[in-house]
Structure 1
Amino acid sequence: MNSKFSFKIYSTTKDLPSDWDSLAINNIFLSKDYLTVLEVAVPKNMTCHFIGLFLDEELVGLALSQYIDLSDVHSFGERDHCLKTKVREIVFKKFSSNVLVMGNNMLTGQNGCCFSEKLLASAGMVLLEKAAEELKLTFRKRKIKIHLTIFKDFSESEIENFSIPEFDSYYKFTTQPNMIFQIRESWNTFDDYILDKSKKYRDQYKRARKKADEISKKKLSLEEITIYKSRIYQLYMNVAKNAPFNTFYLPENHFVLFKQSLQDNFLFYGYFIGEELIGFNTLIKNGSDIDTYFLGYDEKYQREKMLYLNMLYDMIGYSINKGYRRIIFARTALEIKSSVGAKPVEMYGLMKHSNPAINLLVSKTFSYFEPKIEWQQRNPFKN
């Protein structure tokens, strides 16, 4: 690789180069605005660093890294208290609790790095691997030994950039797919989408809407998000604690800070019965994509009112009516997302344990720690 290439690690967004956003223009999740709010609204067990890649003095690439301390997080969810879960928890914390993610662990998809035309992706990855080694040294000085280094969420074509000697010691893995909803050009309105469904799934839509007829939906302002902050957090935790695998929990002020910073690019919808907030979902505008963000609900109303399914329909309706091309539905709830038309896209990552002996076992033990999700793909459309 050209020796004129170098990298610089920043611990605060205040120090980022002035032309940072000129490279981040195609992805809001690498923009200064997003990274700044991430810095102040980050989960308490996470530390972010920002990496600039340079050709001489010219900025030609940028990336995000996140250190995650899993020692205080119930990583395998709270709904499953079986012996296997307890054993996994103990082993995981002893040998894999300090994790360095080269990417964004709070999102699904490749939102962790981008390069200009002057930097080949494979060369960029070599620079980021060197940056990861420097970050590990930085943490070691703070008496933190990084157990696992992970490069996350690359598509099938993107993962080919890692087929180079520098990554021979990394284990390639795949977890749950990213559920992506492609909006057809023939759908000018939400009604066009409904008309393209088969009778079974049109009936499902009608049934869900009928169940939710007493629910009112409202786009909340910054002031309203602030007023409902405690209830929002309670609803978020209802969902988060039942997830099969957790690496962090958001702080209570997360959504307030996001709305303050991203403003109209961050949408927050509350669902009410009378005056009671029973659920919410959030969306982030990212170019021609809509990224679904975190949500929460009261389990009682979720079951009675088919609340989650209604939220999915609302997200689709908004995105079609506003002319977006895709919805990034991310991981989790794979089957219900496929029932509204999202398709699975495999995502790949690379991981390496700092202990060479344990690293040899990573490929054999990974499936033990990765919760298995059985699901059936649905096709709701006539053709």
Structure 2
Amino acid sequence: MMKIQQKLRSVKTALSERREVRKRLRGPAQLRYAIADSIGMLDAQAWKGLTAQAGFFLSYDYLRSLESVLPANLDPRYALVYEDEQPVAALYMQLADIRLAQASKTSFGSLGESLGQRVLTCGNLLTFGQHGIAIAPGVDPELAWHGVAEVLYRVRQAEKLAGSANFVMIKDLHGPQVEDAAFLKNLSYRFVETEPNMVLALGEDWKSYDDYLASLASKYRANVRNGILKPIEAAQCRVEHFSDMAAMQDEIHALYKAVQVNAGFRPFELLPEYFPALQEAAGERFRCSVLKREGKMLGFLVTIADGETAIAFHIGFDRAAAADLPIYLRLLHAGIADAIGLGCKRVSFGRTALEPKAALGARPETYGVLIRHRQPFMNKVIKHLLLNIDHDEAPDRSPFKKAEGKAA
């Protein structure tokens, strides 16, 4: 009986503590906020100071360039969080109007075009990775994340005139970020693990693509040569760098769309003007490898150096030509060559197509999103449905020679 009473007291104490945490989180943080529709409306120096170590995709210049070429259904929001007079966090958000037709390959006719959701995303839907939050060093993580939740609440409340943003998503949390943001579950945020990001670590002694090939075990090297490189060469195709996106933006966009329309989930469609704007913003960090045959472009891959990581993310190719040639695989290998040329230490290939990326030597990194719906009932639905969604697991491949294992 004594043990039962002790357990009951323990449960009662835990519930009481959780209620206190929830009550504290639902109240305003002891912070101040500057929230804007354009990054130009905020203190540029404060933003640059907070995001100096946060990477290219949170940089002031990139986000300012992005504003004018965002997809038609995306609308940006920005916020600076202050403690007293000191900026402690910067947030980049996107409001997305997503129709049912964009979330499935199934045709729903006019119903698919009329039904949809307005989603508030903390992060950048155009790329993968956590590119939505920068927190100043030394700031209490709980205070900072409380501020993040408060900003998202305020932005969602402000959107009621334009249409309610029912879903809120904090995208692509990884590693310590997951632990730091975990207490947001007290505000009904639910963590959902997504497909992993596939990352290839580049060997320190790789100075060229040939060095990468030489590091592969003979079986895998033969597969690359006979299954990818030789068929491409036999078809008189060649890979080259493309430096003028403005001149060929329509052709690049057509190849991008050929791949994009076949995706199961299409939350946006990039504009043709986006590609040259990205190149201009990235400068020397930008690479675009194109596959050509007799002057005709059959595919492209855009890679950007973000610190020591090369982000290989925008890809497009001629689907008819790809039925006979390993264009997609050849472009992935071009991404490795570009990453080495950019002096990076790893290549981030993103989600999807886990098998071919694993065959390159890429390893999975666990990522997830925090999701919240404004209606309590829907949060319960999210908890029981979304958290149980199955996603593909990356296959275990070891393509490198045993002596090269550490490089993989």
* Same fold flag (TM > 0.5): yes
Percent identity, please. 24
Q: What CA distance in whole angstroms lies between the structure 1 residues aligned with 2:335 and 2:243?
A: 18
AA partner of residue 294 (structure 1): H
Which residue matches 2:329?
309
Q: 1:102 to 1:167 in 2, by over 3 A?
A: farther
1:128 deviates by 1.0
TM-score normalized by the length of structure 2: 0.84
**Cross-structure match for 2:32:** 6
Q: Supply the distance in 2 between the matched residues of 1:119 and 1:186 (Cα, whole angstroms).
A: 38
Tell me the residue number matched to 1:75: 103
Deviation at 1:72, TM superposition (A): 6.9
Does the 8 Å CA contact 2:166/2:373 hold for their aligned counterparts? yes
In structure 1, the residue matched to 2:52 is 25
1:115 aligns with 2:135: yes
Residue 258 of structure 1 and its aligned partner are, at CA, apart by 1.6
User: 1:246 is paired with a residue of what secondary structure?
Assistant: coil
Cα contact 1:126–1:166 (8 A) shared by 2: no
Name whichever of 252-261 and 29-38 sits farther off. 252-261
8 Å CA contact 2:358–2:394 kept in 1: the answer is no
C-alpha contact (below 8 Å) 1:73/1:248 kept by paired residues: no
Equivalent in the alignment of 1:44: 72
Give the 4+ runs in structure 1 shifted more than 6 A.
89-93
Matched pairs, number: 371
329 and 259 in structure 1: CA distance in 2 versus 1, 3 angstrom threshold: same
C-alpha distance in 2 between matches for 1:192 and 1:261: 31
SS, match of residue 352 in structure 1: strand
> For residues 394 and 363 of structure 2, what CA distance do their matches in structure 1 show?
13
Match of 2:259 among 239, 258, 282: 239
Q: 1:162 to 1:242 in 2, by over 3 A?
A: same
CA distance in 2, matches of 1:365, 1:236: 32
Letter of the 2:52 counterpart: I
Matched, 1:175 2:202: no
Q: Distance in 2 between matches of 1:264 and 1:46?
A: 27
* Deviation (angstroms), 1:133: 0.8
Structure 1 residue 297 displacement after superposition:
0.1
Structure 1 unmatched runs, 5+: none
* SS of equivalent residue, structure 1 residue 344: strand
- Work out whether residues 70 and 93 of structure 1, in 8 Å CA contact, stay in contact via their aligned partners in 2: no
Q: Secondary structure of 1:60's match?
A: strand
Instruction: Give 1:220 deviation, angstroms.
Output: 2.1
What RMSD in Å do the two structures reach over aligned CA positions? 2.5
* Aligned equivalents of 2:124, 2:321: Cα separation in 1: 32
Q: Distance in 1 between matches of 2:101 and 2:60?
A: 28
Structure number with greater Rg is 2
Match status 1:15 vs 2:49: no
User: What do residues 114-154 of structure 1 show as CA deviations (whole Å, max 9, x unaligned)?
Assistant: 11124223321110111111111111022x11111111111
Pick closer, same or farther for the CA change 1:37–1:165 going to 2, 3 Å: closer
Q: Which has the higher contact order (CA 8 A, sep 6+)?
A: 1
Question: What's 1:218 paired with?
Answer: 240
- CA shift at 1:165, angstroms? 5.8
Q: How does 1:79-158 map to 2 (within 5 A)?
A: 80=106, 94=115, 97-142=117-162, 144-158=163-177
| Alignment partners' CA distance in 1, 2:114 and 2:264 | 16
Runs (5+) with no aligned partner, structure 2: 1-23, 403-408
Q: Which amino acid aligns with 1:195?
A: A
The structure-2 alpha-carbon separation of the partners of 1:201 and 1:242, relative to structure 1 and needing over 3 Å to count, comes to same
Is 1:379 the counterpart of 2:406? The answer is no
